[in-house]
Structure 1
């Protein structure tokens, strides 16, 4: 595998807004646009299988043994009185041959 084909690790995050879950890969250190996927239904949290399929579309896969971790933020930074926003995150890697 050449240096260009070496798998790189990134963070995938998933958040919900207006009842719809959105999954995106944060591509720090690149000039690439962050790949993003919006799940078609409202409210139900996407399954692990659905998340993996969404990540596979732009050429990513979960890191072996990786787990999703939840964190909370406020809708308006520095205002704890606003609605809570849940963010799930896990480590992913680009598949061999996919350069991100």
Structure 2
């Protein structure tokens, strides 16, 4: 089962912490890093915007992505939350196995 790292920006540390805790609690992620101090520049509704954000690095599996895509908009304060995932390749096998074990569907129903 491929491990993926999903990127998601949040408007503040409070929402980032709440989302990270929910994703780990619900076993949609094995680990979520919160990186404050991200300066974002983007186009939104025809205007160039700038914002200070917190970046979430969500360690999960490809099997969990559909559930993560469904759950994130329910947790996130943005109208359109960022969610972009890339496959993690060449990682430490024991770490990748740990991510897979912590996000197993049968474990989510405990």
Could you state the TM-score of these two structures normalised by the residue count of structure 2? 0.35
Judging by fraction of residues, say which structure has more helix.
2
Judging by fraction of residues, say which structure has more strand.
1
Could you state the TM-score of these two structures normalised by the residue count of structure 1? 0.37
